[in-house]
Amino acid sequence: IVAITAAIGWGTMDKHLPRYRLMSASKGMKADLVNLQALAVQTNRETRLRLLDSAGSCEDLDTWGGQYVLEVGNRSSGSTSWEVIPMDAEEDGSDDDQTEGWMDLGEDGNRKARFVCLQDWAELTGPGTDSEDSVVFSPRGWLRNPVSDFSSSGYVELELVNLIAASDGINDRVTIKISRAGMVRMETSLGRQG
Protein backbone atom coordinates (compact mmCIF):
# COMPACT_ATOMS: atom_id res chain seq x y z
CA ILE A 1 0.00 0.00 0.00
CA VAL A 2 2.81 2.37 0.91
CA ALA A 3 4.62 1.66 -2.37
CA ILE A 4 1.48 2.27 -4.43
CA THR A 5 0.74 5.52 -2.59
CA ALA A 6 4.35 6.67 -3.04
CA ALA A 7 4.24 5.86 -6.78
CA ILE A 8 1.02 7.83 -7.23
CA GLY A 9 2.47 10.75 -5.24
CA TRP A 10 5.72 10.71 -7.22
CA GLY A 11 3.84 10.68 -10.53
CA THR A 12 1.81 13.72 -9.46
CA MET A 13 4.86 15.57 -8.11
CA ASP A 14 6.97 14.68 -11.14
CA LYS A 15 4.37 16.31 -13.40
CA HIS A 16 4.46 19.59 -11.46
CA LEU A 17 8.22 19.78 -10.80
CA PRO A 18 9.20 21.43 -14.15
CA ARG A 19 6.58 24.16 -13.58
CA TYR A 20 7.90 24.70 -10.05
CA ARG A 21 11.46 25.05 -11.38
CA LEU A 22 10.32 27.55 -14.03
CA MET A 23 8.52 29.69 -11.47
CA SER A 24 11.43 29.48 -9.02
CA ALA A 25 13.99 30.57 -11.65
CA SER A 26 11.68 33.39 -12.80
CA LYS A 27 11.07 34.64 -9.27
CA GLY A 28 14.81 34.53 -8.65
CA MET A 29 15.51 36.70 -11.70
CA LYS A 30 12.73 39.11 -10.74
CA ALA A 31 14.14 39.38 -7.20
CA ASP A 32 17.64 40.02 -8.62
CA LEU A 33 16.30 42.91 -10.72
CA VAL A 34 14.37 44.40 -7.79
CA ASN A 35 17.47 44.14 -5.59
CA LEU A 36 19.63 45.81 -8.25
CA GLN A 37 17.16 48.67 -8.46
CA ALA A 38 17.25 49.13 -4.67
CA LEU A 39 21.06 48.93 -4.63
CA ALA A 40 21.30 51.64 -7.28
CA VAL A 41 19.14 53.96 -5.18
CA GLN A 42 20.99 53.08 -1.97
CA THR A 43 24.53 53.53 -3.32
CA ASN A 44 23.87 56.35 -5.82
CA ARG A 45 25.61 54.22 -8.47
CA GLU A 46 24.41 52.46 -11.60
CA THR A 47 23.67 48.75 -11.33
CA ARG A 48 23.07 46.20 -14.04
CA LEU A 49 22.02 42.67 -14.84
CA ARG A 50 24.33 41.58 -17.64
CA LEU A 51 23.13 38.59 -19.68
CA LEU A 52 25.99 36.22 -20.42
CA ASP A 53 24.57 33.11 -22.02
CA SER A 54 21.20 31.86 -23.15
CA ALA A 55 20.27 28.27 -23.84
CA GLY A 56 19.31 29.26 -27.38
CA SER A 57 15.90 28.95 -28.96
CA CYS A 58 14.56 26.64 -26.20
CA GLU A 59 13.41 23.90 -28.55
CA ASP A 60 15.50 20.99 -27.29
CA LEU A 61 15.46 19.18 -23.92
CA ASP A 62 19.24 18.90 -24.04
CA THR A 63 19.80 22.68 -24.15
CA TRP A 64 18.61 24.22 -20.92
CA GLY A 65 20.09 26.77 -18.54
CA GLY A 66 21.40 30.29 -18.98
CA GLN A 67 23.73 32.68 -17.17
CA TYR A 68 23.76 36.29 -16.02
CA VAL A 69 25.77 38.44 -13.63
CA LEU A 70 24.78 41.26 -11.23
CA GLU A 71 27.10 44.28 -11.16
CA VAL A 72 27.54 47.76 -9.68
CA GLY A 73 29.05 50.61 -11.69
CA ASN A 74 31.63 53.10 -10.48
CA ARG A 75 29.48 56.20 -11.18
CA SER A 76 25.94 57.44 -10.96
CA SER A 77 25.90 57.84 -14.74
CA GLY A 78 28.17 56.59 -17.52
CA SER A 79 30.06 54.01 -15.44
CA THR A 80 33.43 53.02 -16.89
CA SER A 81 34.00 49.95 -14.75
CA TRP A 82 31.71 47.38 -13.15
CA GLU A 83 32.12 45.29 -10.01
CA VAL A 84 30.34 41.97 -9.45
CA ILE A 85 28.17 42.17 -6.34
CA PRO A 86 28.55 42.20 -3.42
CA MET A 87 30.47 45.45 -3.42
CA ASP A 88 33.89 45.12 -1.80
CA ALA A 89 34.60 47.01 1.38
CA GLU A 90 38.27 47.31 0.47
CA GLU A 91 39.64 49.95 -1.88
CA ASP A 92 42.44 47.75 -3.22
CA GLY A 93 40.87 47.43 -6.66
CA SER A 94 40.37 43.69 -6.46
CA ASP A 95 37.05 41.93 -6.44
CA ASP A 96 37.32 39.71 -3.38
CA ASP A 97 33.93 38.01 -3.33
CA GLN A 98 31.81 37.34 -6.41
CA THR A 99 29.68 34.48 -5.14
CA GLU A 100 26.45 36.45 -4.90
CA GLY A 101 26.70 38.02 -8.34
CA TRP A 102 27.03 35.08 -10.76
CA MET A 103 23.76 33.32 -11.61
CA ASP A 104 23.83 30.05 -13.54
CA LEU A 105 20.69 28.02 -14.31
CA GLY A 106 22.71 25.21 -15.91
CA GLU A 107 23.62 21.69 -14.80
CA ASP A 108 26.45 22.73 -12.49
CA GLY A 109 25.10 26.20 -11.70
CA ASN A 110 24.35 27.80 -8.37
CA ARG A 111 20.69 28.17 -9.43
CA LYS A 112 20.30 24.91 -11.30
CA ALA A 113 16.86 24.82 -12.91
CA ARG A 114 16.65 21.52 -14.78
CA PHE A 115 14.78 21.81 -18.09
CA VAL A 116 14.32 25.59 -17.69
CA CYS A 117 15.71 27.61 -20.58
CA LEU A 118 16.69 31.29 -20.61
CA GLN A 119 15.68 32.10 -24.18
CA ASP A 120 17.72 34.19 -26.61
CA TRP A 121 16.87 37.80 -25.86
CA ALA A 122 16.21 40.68 -28.23
CA GLU A 123 19.19 42.92 -28.88
CA LEU A 124 20.05 45.07 -25.86
CA THR A 125 22.50 47.83 -26.72
CA GLY A 126 22.46 49.27 -23.20
CA PRO A 127 23.44 52.82 -22.30
CA GLY A 128 26.94 54.14 -22.92
CA THR A 129 29.83 51.84 -23.71
CA ASP A 130 30.33 48.24 -22.62
CA SER A 131 26.69 47.73 -21.59
CA GLU A 132 25.54 45.44 -24.36
CA ASP A 133 23.14 42.69 -23.25
CA SER A 134 22.49 44.56 -20.00
CA VAL A 135 19.56 45.96 -18.07
CA VAL A 136 20.95 49.08 -16.36
CA PHE A 137 19.34 50.92 -13.41
CA SER A 138 20.03 54.55 -12.56
CA PRO A 139 20.34 55.84 -8.95
CA ARG A 140 16.71 56.98 -9.26
CA GLY A 141 15.64 53.39 -9.90
CA TRP A 142 14.77 54.00 -13.57
CA LEU A 143 16.20 52.08 -16.50
CA ARG A 144 18.98 53.78 -18.41
CA ASN A 145 18.54 51.55 -21.48
CA PRO A 146 17.84 53.37 -24.75
CA VAL A 147 14.41 53.31 -26.37
CA SER A 148 15.63 50.72 -28.90
CA ASP A 149 15.97 48.15 -26.09
CA PHE A 150 12.25 48.28 -25.27
CA SER A 151 9.57 46.17 -26.94
CA SER A 152 6.60 47.74 -28.70
CA SER A 153 4.65 47.32 -25.44
CA GLY A 154 7.21 49.47 -23.59
CA TYR A 155 9.23 46.86 -21.68
CA VAL A 156 12.64 45.24 -21.71
CA GLU A 157 11.61 41.57 -21.83
CA LEU A 158 13.43 38.37 -20.84
CA GLU A 159 11.87 34.92 -21.22
CA LEU A 160 12.29 31.62 -19.40
CA VAL A 161 10.75 28.45 -20.88
CA ASN A 162 9.62 25.13 -19.35
CA LEU A 163 11.15 22.64 -21.81
CA ILE A 164 9.23 19.63 -20.48
CA ALA A 165 5.93 21.39 -21.21
CA ALA A 166 7.26 22.50 -24.62
CA SER A 167 8.11 18.88 -25.49
CA ASP A 168 4.46 18.03 -24.74
CA GLY A 169 3.23 20.85 -26.98
CA ILE A 170 2.34 23.20 -24.07
CA ASN A 171 3.50 26.81 -24.19
CA ASP A 172 4.63 27.33 -20.57
CA ARG A 173 6.89 30.34 -20.34
CA VAL A 174 7.42 33.33 -18.07
CA THR A 175 8.26 36.77 -19.43
CA ILE A 176 10.10 39.11 -17.05
CA LYS A 177 9.07 42.65 -18.01
CA ILE A 178 10.97 45.74 -16.84
CA SER A 179 9.41 49.13 -17.50
CA ARG A 180 11.23 52.41 -18.08
CA ALA A 181 10.33 53.39 -14.49
CA GLY A 182 12.03 50.23 -13.20
CA MET A 183 8.89 48.28 -12.35
CA VAL A 184 9.55 44.54 -12.66
CA ARG A 185 6.73 42.07 -13.27
CA MET A 186 6.27 38.47 -14.35
CA GLU A 187 3.76 37.42 -16.95
CA THR A 188 3.11 33.76 -17.69
CA SER A 189 1.78 32.23 -20.87
CA LEU A 190 -0.69 30.25 -18.76
CA GLY A 191 -2.42 33.40 -17.55
CA ARG A 192 -1.02 33.84 -14.04
CA GLN A 193 0.89 37.01 -13.23
CA GLY A 194 3.21 38.06 -10.44
CA angle 122, 140, 87 (to 5 degrees): 80
Query: Per residue in 29-88, pLDDT tens?
Result: 999 999 999 999 999 999 999 999 998 888 888 889 999 999 999 999 999 999 999 876
Q: Please say whether the beta carbons of 50 and 80 come within 8 A.
A: no
Tell me which residue of 97, 99, 101 sits closest to 36, measured CA to CA.
101
Average pLDDT over residues 156-171: 93
Q: pTM for this one?
A: 0.87
Percent of the chain with pLDDT over 70: 85
Decide: 113 and 104 in contact? Cβ < 8 Å: no
Are 47 and 86 in contact by the 8 Å Cβ rule? The answer is no
pLDDT band at 90 (very low <50, low <70, confident <90, very high): low
Per-residue model confidence as pLDDT tens digits over 143-158: 999 999 999 999 999 9
